[in-house]
């Protein structure tokens, strides 16, 4: 990859994601989300990228989950995409904020009825007495919302990560990988790319 050709890391990311969508067997939009508690304890899990809005990488979750509590406490996070079929990885670091209610509402209404019911039924990250109890709660909400008009729970919605750093990585022979990091300048939408040792 020639660094002078990297004008916009978002566009390069979209190009790589598009290529991954043709190669990856499942969930090319899967990304590892790392957060940290106010006490400095890190945590990581896999979530799905659902959109890129004004440069923010957006995913959705229960706002009462562990990840959400850590995001609200620190406002910081990191994402990592790894596409094994392409031997490529993209890492992002930045600040996290809730997306607007309008954006969350729009995405929520695009989900299947089962997924919308699931958002109501799951008390994400909290201890569950039994699987049967969860299914009872699902049934209860199915009865409550027996038509397709299911409102978005106030405790469920999106977060967007605004990147302050990108790292693009491609596999190379003999572990001589191609690795470059981009950071924004003081000029809007301008990034500096520097190659790093693998």
At 126, list the tokens.
């909290």
Instruction: Note if 175 is an active site residue.
Output: yes
Measured distance CA(182)–CA(198) in Å, rounded:
15
Measured distance CA(194)–CA(198) in Å, rounded:
12
- φ/ψ of residue 112, rounded to 5: -65, 160
At 17, list the tokens.
């994601």
Marked catalytic residue, from 116, 175, 179, 195 = 175
Measured distance CA(108)–CA(167) in Å, rounded:
31
Q: What share of the chain is helix, strand, coil (3-state, %, to 5)?
A: 30, 35, 30
- Residues involved in catalysis: 175
């Amino acid at each position: 990859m020639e660094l002078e050709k990297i004008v916009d890391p978002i566009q390069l990311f979209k190009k790589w994601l598009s290529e991954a969508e043709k190669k990856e067997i499942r969930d090319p939009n899967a990304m590892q989300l790392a957060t940290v508690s106010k006490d400095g304890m890190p945590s990581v899990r896999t979530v799905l990228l659902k959109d890129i809005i004004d440069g923010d990488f957006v995913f959705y979750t229960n706002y009462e989950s562990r990840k959400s509590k850590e995001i609200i406490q620190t406002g910081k996070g990191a994402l990592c995409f790894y596409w094994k079929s392409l031997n490529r990885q993209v890492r992002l670091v930045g600040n996290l904020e809730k997306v607007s209610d309008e954006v969350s509402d729009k995405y929520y209404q695009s989900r299947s009825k089962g997924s919308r019911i699931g958002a109501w039924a799951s008390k994400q990250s909290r201890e569950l007495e039994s699987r049967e109890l969860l299914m009872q709660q699902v049934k209860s909400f199915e009865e409550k919302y027996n038509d397709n008009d299911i409102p978005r729970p106030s405790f469920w919605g999106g977060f967007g990560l605004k990147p302050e750093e990108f790292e693009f990585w491609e596999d190379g022979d003999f572990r001589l990988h191609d690795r470059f990091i981009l950071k924004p300048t003081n000029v809007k939408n301008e990034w500096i790319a520097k190659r790093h040792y693998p």
